[in-house]
Structure 1
């Protein structure tokens, strides 16, 4: 514990702020829906009490400063300006709004990866059926890394309308080279969409270096915010090009004549009309992460994951299924000699909180690995080395 206190000085306070850090639970599911700190809950309860007294519109007016804080804190997190940030209900909501703004035509090409998020793939396939979009997936190298040479070849050959990449797939701990992809997209003038749902809150994200035109994220995962929250970052290039969601809402435009409207000059043109008390929680969650420091968070996470991987790798019958040279705070494993229902039940009875995924979540990736399920563990900076050791012991016993 002394190492952890030195490594992340706020660990004692952070755990006090996190009631889910209990003696009978080992929470390893921040890639699914993490534990909210108490200040996040307090911010939402305060706003709900205001709505109870003042009504929704009155509460919104009184909370204008806190709402503005969301844009300021998110801009600080990403190294951008508040005008480049839009609130969304989820990463998928932000993704769909961004996709709807791109003027696709029949025959346009989208480049993506083989391990992209399932909801994103479904959007691509839907566009393929409805608009005749050509969907091409970038090759991986033998170790699982993205083949950047193949990406550049595809960009040169097809002049894609969009390159869309999930920074960290939900089914794997690999971290894709977002910055290198951004350099290629910038060089060849292709729209670049980065799904950062699993990286925001656990890794530093600097949009000035990554150079995405769109970045989508969720609040419920490593940011430790409430569910049904997220955000969309738009580059200055995308804003200046006049990109607007297909179905713009009244927050995003002004109705100026019976057959005419003017869009908002900022990323707010992508926002829905209804912004609930949840934005208060998301603003507080991002402030909380900024206060601790994303570099500190990432460093502590790296320590935890090194201990987890080192502890699980020698266990007989267990196979770590993550590939790639750079890995994140997601670890996945498979056990060929255990049935998933039995293993799930044993781990849950032992107090481990985790996610199990089956092949439908990442069809291509699972087929390539020759497995039909994984268990995913995703600790975060509020976890300790003692908890990591306990998880490793429990899993070892369950596989005996």
Structure 2
């Protein structure tokens, strides 16, 4: 059933003042999410933070259930975190690796690569960057070749890279990793909220998601999922009361031991409401709407002189990356911001896979990223195209 765009826009206060095409950075929250956050903050103001948290304990528990439903997982495997990067780093740093080689994609998120480089130095690991296939996705064939060489301790993949718009075949990667008995961590920060996710189908042992992007939750919210067999191996450092008061050894482990006790309950409730809102709309319908808008944007931009689109083959996500000839990406972003259009700039992945691992990489090429959500309209994309034509027509 098609989404009611008028209702979506009525639910999104921000569309009254801006054309927001930076949803891969941080989406406009729907009214119900903002109201949830503010209502809890008001309650903290009225009765106190701990008291408000106790009063909302039932709703807090439902956050785990909602996120678990979103990715078809067991709620016991869900932990709430403050950012996707910190969640990814925390789990990988605690994970014991049975092999000395770590495989990662060429488009792995930069923060993740930095963590892996640090671990490689500390543990004597070898990092191997997987090649791309003809469409720019991670090469499943190369992955199989590296797994056949054995001694692989971990495979890391970003599901939807921050630039380009493609969707890696995470399920195919997961099947090969599961068959080889190698842990697989999936960075789903750009896919949660815009693509259907099923951890059983993906066969990922760890999945990390964030609230602020396509899920349309508050900033400062994220979550991590750990499969039960991985959860048993990850023992959190007792750095606050949550971990200090861990359950006794013969009780089933809970991912919540990874959490910090002193987190924003208001933000977590907002994350839960954002998850519920996405489920109410239907993730398949959201994906269809985003795909229609992104495909239409690519067609528009392809017709504009001096605009170059990035990405090979069918892209599959709501992200469109481009550049304007003889214009710096930041210049394009600022020009469009003056027209009330929000975009972002992103580094393009290096052409050579091994360059991903350089400690001091060359200054990366930067592109402009436009990312749509279901509340965006075809008329807003027309506005973007018109603004770019004006910029191109002005020349240098």
Q: Check whether TM > 0.5.
A: yes
Q: Distance in 2 between matches of 1:7 and 1:33?
A: 24
Which residue of structure 1 aligns with residue 180 of structure 2? 188
Tell me how large the CA RMSD over aligned residues is.
2.3
Q: Distance in 1 between matches of 2:340 and 2:161?
A: 26
Give the direction of change, closer, same or farther, for the CA distance of 1:262–1:60 in structure 2 (3 Å limit): farther
Give the direction of change, closer, same or farther, for the CA distance of 1:261–1:273 in structure 2 (3 Å limit): farther
Which residue of structure 1 aligns with residue 13 of structure 2? 19
- Cα offsets for 1:117-169 (capped at 9, x unmatched): 01001001111222211100111123312211110110110331110100011
| 3-state SS, counterpart of residue 20 of structure 1 | helix
Which residue of structure 2 aligns with residue 136 of structure 1? 128
Aligned with residue 155 of structure 2, among 131, 138, 163: 163
Report deviation, 1:294.
Answer: 0.6
Matching of residues 105-124 of structure 1 within 5 Å: 108-124=100-116
Report deviation, 1:279.
Answer: 0.3
Number of positions where the alignment pairs a residue of Structure 1 with one of Structure 2: 385
Which residue of structure 2 aligns with residue 289 of structure 1? 278
Report deviation, 1:381.
Answer: 0.5
TM-score of the aligned structures, taking structure 1 as reference length: 0.90
Report deviation, 1:237.
Answer: 2.2
Q: Distance in 1 between matches of 2:316 and 2:291?
A: 9
Q: Distance in 2 between matches of 1:103 and 1:155?
A: 18
Which residue of structure 2 aligns with residue 268 of structure 1? 256
TM-score of the aligned structures, taking structure 2 as reference length: 0.91
Report deviation, 1:72.
Answer: 1.1
Q: Distance in 1 between matches of 2:69 and 2:246?
A: 32
Which residue of structure 2 aligns with residue 3 of structure 1? none
- Cα offsets for 1:157-193 (capped at 9, x unmatched): 0331110100011122110001001100110000010
Aligned with residue 383 of structure 2, among 367, 390, 397: 390
| 3-state SS, counterpart of residue 158 of structure 1 | coil
Give the direction of change, closer, same or farther, for the CA distance of 1:274–1:186 in structure 2 (3 Å limit): same
Report deviation, 1:246.
Answer: 4.4
Report deviation, 1:363.
Answer: 4.6
| 3-state SS, counterpart of residue 241 of structure 2 | coil
Aligned with residue 94 of structure 2, among 84, 101, 111: 101
Aligned with residue 54 of structure 1, among 44, 47, 54: 47
Q: Distance in 1 between matches of 2:164 and 2:269?
A: 31
Q: Distance in 1 between matches of 2:109 and 2:331?
A: 27
Matched, 1:86 2:79: yes
Report deviation, 1:217.
Answer: 0.6
Aligned with residue 235 of structure 2, among 241, 244, 250: 244
Give the direction of change, closer, same or farther, for the CA distance of 1:123–1:35 in structure 2 (3 Å limit): same
Give the direction of change, closer, same or farther, for the CA distance of 1:213–1:131 in structure 2 (3 Å limit): same
Q: Unmatched 5+ residue regions in structure 1?
A: 1-5
Give the direction of change, closer, same or farther, for the CA distance of 1:252–1:323 in structure 2 (3 Å limit): farther
Aligned with residue 197 of structure 2, among 197, 201, 205: 205
- Cα offsets for 1:202-254 (capped at 9, x unmatched): 11111111011100011000000111100001112213x33223456432453
Give the direction of change, closer, same or farther, for the CA distance of 1:248–1:399 in structure 2 (3 Å limit): same
Q: Unmatched 5+ residue regions in structure 2?
A: 357-362
Which residue of structure 2 aligns with residue 303 of structure 1? 292
